[in-house]
Amino acid sequence: MKPSKNRLQIQDKYFVPYLSEQEMQQRVQELGKQIATDYSDKKPLLLCILNGSFVFAADLVRTMDTVCQVSFLKYSSYVKDKSSEEAKDLLGIKGLNEELKDRHLIVVEDIVDTGTTMNKLLKELDTHHPASIEIATCLFKPDALKFDISPKYVAFSIPNHFVIGYGLDYDNYGRHLSGIYIVDED
């Protein structure tokens, strides 16, 4: 196979562009404006899931013209390019300084695919009796979903293919890419 100008290698896999930086920025701005409207008087707490959501979360918060707080949780459910059946809580709710009771929470995630991480996190958050919990995700794979989870704020719904870029990684590489790249199966 001839190497493509737009095809890039990360570790042992090849990737091709799927969503451009411009598409990402435009859609994130739209989501930020929608969230700002929906939460204009609620002072939401955004709980950003590390490591993958850091780019999406930073861009999203900068587009939101509303008072909010931002905090970070660290979960992992991927091993290389496969979602595992278990979400590991690496720096979870116990590490938060903010009170969750009666707060409007927005969980900011890079990708919701099987829903393993989100299912675990939503159950744990619910025990703290917040006023509301919604999900804002950069990418959503409805065909991979194994739990009854409905993200309210979705930048892009995508097919069940492995992707990197815009904070998402393959074995902790590729997060720096400004767009989304899909694995090249050819």
The answer, yes or no, to whether residue 53 has pLDDT greater than 50, is yes
How far, rounded to the nearest angstrom, does the alpha carbon of residue 11 sit from its chain's CA centroid? 22
Distance (Å) of CA 79 to CA 85, 135, 137:
10, 23, 20
Residue 113 annotated as catalytic: yes
pLDDT tens-digit series, residues 59-104: 999 999 999 999 999 876 555 555 545 555 545 666 678 899 999 9
Q: What is the CATH number of domain 21-162?
A: 3.40.50.2020
The answer, yes or no, to whether residue 128 has pLDDT greater than 70, is yes
What's this model's pTM, rounded to 2 decimal places? 0.88
List the catalytic residue out of 65, 113, 148, 186. 113
Q: Which residues of 20-57 are buried (b: 16+ CB within 10 A; e: fewer)?
A: eeeebeeebeebbeebbeebeeeebbbbbbbbbbbbbb
